[in-house]
Amino acid sequence: MSAGECCCCFESSSNEAAGRAIPDRAGRAPVGGTRRGRASALLLAGVLALALVPGLAAPAAAASYTMTIAHLYPDDLTNNETAPALKHFEQLVESATGGDIDVQIFGNGALGGEVEAAQQTRAGKTIQSVMLGSGTQASFYRNYEMITSPFLFPDYRTAWAFFDSPWFAEFMKPMVQESGLRYLGTLDDGGGFVAFANNKRLITKVEDLKGLRIRVEENQAHMTIMRALGASPTPLPWGELQTGLATGLVDGHFHAPGVNDIFKFYDVTNFTTWSGHVYNTITWSVSEAWFSQLPDDYKKIIVTSAREAVAMAHGIAAQITVIGWVNSCKKFEQCHILSDEEKQRMRDISQPLYREWLVTEFGEKAALYDDLRAEVSRIHDELNRSAVELYLD
């Protein structure tokens, strides 16, 4: 029962006991009211006075819905894009619903690994939303493996515009039927474009990758890319990467510079090269089972709030990437940015083999990959054309 309802109860019972003597506007019982009526009025006044005391206000009504979000990044609001973006989302949703949706965020893998959290999110009972890295996302929605294509994006603007485009939203819609997860948005995992880090040698050309045991997610697409470039892909869970590097089980790995900095991979590797051969992402999804039961206006609030949070995350990720790379060049023994010419060599080597693998794995469905690349090219050309028209003409 709410505080407001309690006040009404006090008023109703006092009126009835006092022979319907109505208090005046100040809440005082009328002169001549019964002793019981005066006592009830005094009790009501006391309750109202307590409600005005700071720190003693009546508790807010319980939320009708809880939206628990699980992710692997630290809860720190300064060293990754996920935590602050979700905090902003929490504020937007709780404000817009008057607290009727209670958003609860758990980072650091507190609710389990990605696969476990995603499985629980499908049911929507203990976890309602989850953030997944590229490899895990592909295991819940097969088409997503196409997004890990080598050298898919030429720059950040194109990547951001593509992931926020109507085309990509349509691309992700079948995930609901396939996995029970509804797509909300894409964040740039530690900054998107990846950098190699390894213990053997500085990578300046494709030949330097030959024979290196590079840790990959359990993702066939990543394995295919590494084999195409001459490396030896070694699947290893995220939680075992630091140990694997320290013990020599693997020679290196690739993550965005922000990730390398956040998780201090310079402590277990010596060389880093910003190659940008893959754009790592975090896919944000919500349980369809839970989402479908929400009132329509609440669904709109979640979707629009997620759009703003994703836009904020892009900017934060870009900053983290720059800081991460600057710190990499201070803390690794050597750092190197791959030249455009060498990127083109790697692209020419890896993309045909990757396309061949897609045809083997997806059959006729691989044509979707050609459409995807065409859309990326179209967006890139349109962004450049628009920039020239707006700022040069």
Write out the two tokens for 85.
Answer: 């973006």
Q: Is the Cβ–Cβ distance between 73 and 82 less than 8 Å?
A: yes
H or E element that contains 210: none
Find residue 388's DSSP bridge partners: none
Residue 200: inside a domain:
yes
Would you say the C-alpha torsion 156, 160, 165, 171 has a positive or negative sign? positive
Distance CA 83, CA 66 (A): 18
Q: Is residue 57 part of a domain?
A: no
The tokens describing 73, both together, are 């990044």
**Amino acid 38: pLDDT:** 46
207: three-class secondary structure by DSSP: helix
Examine residue 213 and state whether it is found in any structural domain, yes or no: yes
Q: What is the pLDDT of residues 100-125, one digit of tens each?
A: 999 999 999 999 999 999 999 999 99
Does 47 lie in the same domain as 70? no
Is 44 found in the same domain as 77? no
| 183 φψ region: left (φ > 0), alpha (ψ -120 to 50), beta (else) | beta
Beta carbons of 194 and 276 less than 8 angstroms apart: yes
Judgement on whether residues 172 and 30 belong to the same structural domain of the protein: no
Tell whether 60 is covered by a domain: no
Is residue 59 assigned to a domain?
A: no
How far apart are alpha carbons 301 and 238 in whole angstroms? Answer: 33
Residue 58 lies in a domain: no
Distances (CA, A) of 362 to 57, 234, 313: 60, 23, 32
Same domain, 341 and 368: yes
**Parent domain of 253:** 65-391
- Residue that is written with structure tokens 């999110």 in the block: 121
Is the same domain home to 47 and 108?
A: no
Kindly report the pTM of this predicted structure: 0.81
Contacting residues for 121 by C-beta, under 8 A, at least 6 apart: 70, 127, 128, 129, 130, 181, 285, 286, 287
Residues 250 and 234: their CA atoms lie apart, in Å, by: 7
Q: Do 235 and 338 lie in a common domain?
A: yes
Q: Assess if residue 268 is contained within a domain.
A: yes
Q: How many domains does the chain have?
A: 2
How much is the pLDDT for 33?
Answer: 44
- On whether both 7 and 139 belong to a single domain, the answer is no
The answer to whether residues 22 and 168 belong to one domain is no
Nearest to 185 by CA among 165, 209, 213, 207: 165
Query: What is the CATH number for 247?
Result: 3.40.190.170
Three-class secondary structure of residue 375 per DSSP: helix
Please, what is the angle between helix 220-228 and helix 340-362, to 10°? Answer: 130
If asked whether residues 141 and 253 sit together in one domain, one would say: yes
Q: Spell out, as residue ranges, where the chain has pLDDT lower than 50.
A: 1-52, 55-58
Report residue 385 as tokens: 């054309």
For residue 201, the model assigns a pLDDT of: 97
Domain boundary among 13, 29, 51: 51
Q: By the 8 A CB rule, do 77 and 84 touch?
A: yes
Please give the pLDDT value at position 36: 45
The pLDDT, as a whole number, for residue 60 is: 58
Q: Are 220 and 357 in contact (CB under 8 A)?
A: yes
Q: Is residue 263 part of a domain?
A: yes
Together in a domain, 360 and 268 = yes
